[in-house]
Structure 1
Amino acid sequence: MSADPITPVLTKRWLSPQSWRLSTYEKLEGYTALRKALKGTPEQLVQLVKDSGLRGRGGAGFPAGVKWSFMPPNEDKPHYLVINADEGEPGTCKDIPLMMADPHSLIEGCVIASYAMRSHHCFIYVRGEALHPIRRLNAAVREAKQAGYLGTDILGSGFDLEITVHAGAGAYICGEETALLDSLEGRRGQPRLKPPFPAAAGLYAAPTTVNNVETIASVPYIVNGGADWFRQMGREKSPGPKIFSISGHVERPGQYEAPLGTTLRELLELCGGMKDGIPLKFWTPGGSSTPLFTAEHLDVPLDFEGAAEAGSMLGTTAVQVFNETVSVPWAVMKWTQFYEHESCGKCTPCREGTYWLAQILERMVEGHGTEEDIDTLLDVCDNILGRSFCALGDGAVSPITSGIKYFRDEFLALCESNKRELVGAQA
C-alpha cells in the first residue's frame, strides 16, 4: 500500500452506493483489520498505534497510543472505551458525516481499540440532535453483531465486546471528556476535577479511555497499512490524513480529506476558491474556539505544530472562511453568544465572564460602544483565560482576543460612530 497525498483513506467509501451497509463495507476491505488485530496481542496494538504517531482528532492532538498505554494492564475493574461523538464545536462537521457514510469504520475501530485496552464495553456518545447518525450507528451495530464482529467470542478469538450507542441531550460542554462521562452516568454534564484522570477513574469510577470518532476510525487503516505507511502522509510530528470541514464563503463547502500540514491555500483550490471571487478576510483553522487567522496566514501548514507556531490551534480542523463583507465584531459577538449560552455555570470566570463579554459586544455592534469597552473586553478575557475550570472559557476568549489583535480598527470604528453621535446630540 503506497500513500498518494490525494488518495482518500478515511473517506474512500463515502461515495459508494449504500456505503453504510455491512455488505458494502466488507467488499471494500471491511473487518480485514479486525481479523489481523485479533491475531496479535493488546500490547502489540498499543505499540503499533504509538509507532504510527496517530494523534487525537478531537482537538487536543494528544498521541492516541500514549493515551491507550495509560490503561492499567490488570482487569480487577472493568475497562471502558468511550467514543466522543458529541461534535458541538461551531463549524465542525466531520464526525457526523463519517458516522452517516461509513459507520462500520468506527465500529471496527472500536472493536480493535477495545481489544487493545482490554475493554469489554464500549460507549459511543452521540450529540442528541444528530438523529440520523444515531439510527445509522444502531443499525450498523446490529449488522456487526449478526455477522459475529460484536458480542461474545468475536471471530472465535475468545474476546467479547458490547457497544452501546448513547444519545446525549445536546450540550456543548459534553464534548469535554469528563463532562461527557458525567452525562453518560446520568448526571448533569459538568467537567470533573482532575486528577483522577479517566484512565484511572473514568466512567463508573473504572479505567476509561475517551477518544474522538475520527481517531478511532483511523485505527483499522493503521492496522492494515502499518505505521510506516501511515507516516508517509502528513508531517513528522503530525502524521496521517485528516478530514477538513470547510464552510463559509467558498464555492464548494464540504468535507475535504487531505494530509495534515495542508495549507488553506491548497484547501481553497480543492473547494473551488472564494465564493463569487470576493477576497478572504479572516478564517478559523479549527472552529470558533481557535484564534482567528487572516489572509496573511494562507500558507500556514495546518497541523498541530504549524497552527500553534502561527498563534492559533489546529482544533478540529473546522475551517470557517469569511470574505470581506463580514464584520469581525459581529462574527465575534455571534460566537460569544454561543459560549454564553453553552457555559455550564460550574465556575465563576466562565459563567460571569461570557455573560459580560456578550453584553459588551452586543452594545458595540449596535453602535453604542466606547473605546474603554475594548480594554474591558481584553481585561475580562484575561480573567477567564487559564482561570476557568475547563477549556470552554479559554475557547470563548479566543475569537475576541484574536479579533481585536488583527482587526482593532473595526472595533474602534464602532466606538467612533458612537462618539460622533454623542457630539451630534450635545450640539
Structure 2
Amino acid sequence: MNIDKLMQSLEAKHSGEYEYLQAVREVLTTIEEEYNKHPEFEAAKIAERLVEPDRIFTFKVPWVDDRGEVQVNLGYRVQFNNAIGPYKGGLRFHSSVNLSILKFLGFEQIFKNALTTLPMGGAKGGSDFNPRGKSSAEVMRFCQAYMVELWRHIGPETDVPAGDIGVGAREVGYLYGMYRKLARENTGVLTGKNLEFGGSLIRPEATGFGGLYFVKQMLETAGMDIAGKTIAISGFGNVAWGAALKATEMGAKVVTISGPDGYVYDESGISGEKIDYMLELRASCNDVVQPYAERYNVPFYAGKRPWEVKVDIALPCATQNELNEVDAKLLIENGVICVGEISNMGCTPEAIESFLQHKVMYGPGKAVNAGGVATSGLEMTQNAMHISWTAEEVDDKLRQIMGAIHEQCVKYGREADGYINYMKGANIAGFLKVAKAMLAQGVL
C-alpha cells in the first residue's frame, strides 16, 4: 500500500474535507505494516475501496417554524461500509455539520463497530439544523421533514441510525414516529428510543460508562488502580455525565467540566447532586457551564479548556480535535498518566504524537467510546428478539464488550518495549475484521 499516493488521490478528489482526510491518514498509517503482510488485500484494493463510502445521500429539509416562516436545512446520510452487518451510526444535528465531519465519523464508525464484535457496519448522518433554542414543535416538524427524505434508505437490516450531538431521546422519538407512519411497521430501525417503544436501559449513560470501563482496564494493565485518581473531563452532556457518574462510582474524582464558554474547576470533586445538575444544565438550552461555578462557588475559566489542570487522567468528552498539541504538552508537563477519548477523534494528530512519544497511555475514540454503539447494538438485539433486558444485564454485556475491545487493542498494539499503542491496536483489530469480510464477499 502506497499511503502517500492514496492520500494524494483522496486530497485531490475531496479537497477541504480536513476531518475526513485526517481520520483516513491516521488509520492507514497505523495499519500499513499489517496490511503489507497480506498481498491479497492489495490485490483486491481493500484500502482504496474502504476509504470511500458506499454511497452518500444529500437532501434539502424544508420545514416551518413557529412564526409560520419556511426554513431550509441540508440533510445527509453517509453509508460507508456494510461488510459485517447493516449500516449503523448516529445522526448529528448541529450548525457545524458538513460532509467532511460526517464522512470522518462514518469512517471511524466502521472500525468502532467492528471492535464491538457485533454485526454492524459503519455509517453517519445528520443536518446543519441546531435544535438548541427551538421549540419542541419546531424540532418535531424538522425531524418529520428529515425522515420523509431518509426513510426509504434505512431499515432494521439495512441501516440503523441512532442519536448523536443534538439528537437525544426526544429527536429519536420524533424521527421514529415518522418512520413508523411511512413504513407502516414497528421495527428497531433507530436506537436510542424511549423505553416505552423499544429503547434499552442505560443507553444514555453507555458511552461514558464504557469509556470508564476501558480506561480502568488500561490502568490495571499498567499495574494501577483508578480509585483515588483525579480526572479532567470536557463537555457536560450525556457522555460527560455518564463518565462522571461511573468515574465517581469507581472511586476517582472528577474535577472539571466544560462548555463553549469555558471550564469549571471543582477541586472537591463533581459528585452526587453536582452530577445531577449537569443534566439540568444540559436541558437549559444555554449551552454554558458558568452557572455551575456560580451555584457551587467554584472557579470558572472563561474561554479556556480544562487540559491546563493538573490531573492523572484526561477524558475528552465533547467533540473532535478538542485537545491539541499545546494542551497535550501541558498535560504531560503536569504528569498525566492516561488520556482516553470518549469523544470521536478528540485529539489532534499532533497531540496524539506527543502522547505516544512520551509513552503516555492514550486510548483512541473508536475503542474508548465504543460503549455507546455497543449498547445500541444490544438495543437492536432486544428489538429483534422482542424482549427487554434489565439494566444489570445490559451493563454486564457492556462490560464484556469493552473488555473484549481492550483485549484486541492489547493483542495488536503491544510494542517491543512493552508499551501498548492502543491506537495502532484498535485500528488493526477493526481493520482486519472488515478487510477479511470484504475479501470473502468479492469485489462489490
TM-score normalised by structure 2 residue count: 0.25
TM-score normalised by structure 1 residue count: 0.26
Name the larger-Rg structure: 1
